[in-house]
Amino acid sequence: MKIGYLWQSETADMTQLSASVLHIKAVIQGLKERGHSVRMVSIPGRQHQWTEDLAQWTFINSQRPWAMRTVESGLRNIQNRFRLPYFNFFDSYHFSSAAVSALADCDVLYERYWLLNYGGLLTARRLGIPLVLEVNGDLIEEYAQLNIELSKAQWAAIHFINRRLFQGASHIVTVSEHLRQRTIERWGVDPAKVTTVANGAHVDVFALDQKIEKVRTRYHLNGEPTIAFVGSFKPWHGLDFLLDAFARVQSVAHNCKLVLVGDGPVRSELEAKVKDLQLEAQVIFTGKIEHQEVAELLQAVQIAVVNPRVSNASLAQSPLKLFEYMAAGKAIVAPSISTVEQILTHQVDAMLVPPNNVDALVNALLALIQNQELRLNLGQSAKQKALTNHSWARTAAEIETILTNLKRKLSPI
């Protein structure tokens, strides 16, 4: 198949390390390895461009007639002056025009969803080919937790457009079953056209024995029990909750350490909390590091934590860190929510704790710190499950099945 991959994002930068970029690269590479050609259209540097190798980009000429530019400028000025709801029509239309130019010979479109970006749906209708919409999280809940304030009129516009976008897509892929159910209920989508395809991990990278001496030296890890969290520091991850639990753990297991890998909007608050708890010597902030170094660092720690606090936003997610922890063979502590319980089993390949229960989190961490055999057994079981069921190759194969079925339905007999 010839697949058009769409990412209508003005902040698109495939050179940056983020969960979005890791996911996009893994899916595209996985589909290519299965024999398909994939051409991506996005907006790196605020310019419509396409690429087939995620490295070399080609600009798409999207010159618009003078009359259209004049009308667009006038309408945008009216919208700004009177604070009218923002429908993102012009941006989506221009993105669609660029995508039509670059993807005219494609069999199917695959788009990473974002609020109010419906260039993919316009493209699919103009080309007469199916669109698969990939949903990676509950953006409505994430906006709420990030305290992004929008007017009632703007929210009305979002709901109006999203309902038509989701209902107009040929198929929808969600990364968790919880998100699938929420998508069906919120947007009134036919359940038959929504499929859950969980995220995965580069198991060939994270399952390897890494050279960890340089990592231990860099972060002053000398073999003491070490707990890690990997990810973006967003409000819904509950890292302040993890720090409260760690303070209690450290008062019992005095030589343990906590490594927080990543960065994000709440980092300064976390650093202040570490100072207030007098844990500067025990808590290590690495900042953003390369993906390979994440794999190396995980080999240097013993315990890995998934979303310490559960929120409406995190309930719907399928965190990449979970599968990478598994592939690395770490003893995992995670909340006992449906998204996790569909993957891990308590005391078989993880320690699952009641959501938002600090006592249970503390007890689970102490149990693993104090029992090396338990850590090793859980880690090995998780690693085997990752190798068998949770590679990116498996994710790509499931997406391929959806795309193939859509193409077959629309092909003439």
Contact 103, 7 (CB under 8 A): no
Reply yes or no on whether the pLDDT at 400 is more than 90: yes
Q: Side-chain half-sphere of 305: how many Cα atoms within 13 Å?
A: 30
Please report, for the domain that includes residue 280, its CATH number.
Answer: 3.40.50.2000
383 and 281 inside one domain: yes
182 and 129 inside one domain: yes
Reply yes or no on whether the pLDDT at 48 is more than 50: yes
Supply the pLDDT for residue 15: 75
Tell me whether residue 83 is exposed, middle or buried, using C-beta atoms within 10 angstroms of its C-beta: 0 to 12, 13 to 18, 19 or more.
exposed
Rounded (10°) angle between helices 372-389 and 358-369: 100
Q: Give the distance from CA 250 to its chain's centroid.
A: 31
**Residue of 72 and 356 predicted with greater confidence:** 356
Reply yes or no on whether the pLDDT at 247 is more than 70: yes
Confidence of residue 260 (pLDDT cuts 50, 70, 90): very high
307 and 382 inside one domain: yes
Domain count, the chain: 2
Distance (Å, whole) CA 139 – CA 116: 11
Reply yes or no on whether the pLDDT at 413 is more than 50: no
State the chain's mean pLDDT as an integer: 89
- Span 151-180, pLDDT tens digits: 788 888 888 999 999 999 999 999 999 999
Distance (Å, whole) CA 318 – CA 334: 12
**Range of 46's domain?**
2-200+392-410
153 and 165 inside one domain: yes
Rounded to an integer, the average pLDDT of 273-277 is: 96
The DSSP string of 278-318 is T-TTTEEEEES--HHHHHHHHHT-SEEE--SS--TTGGG--
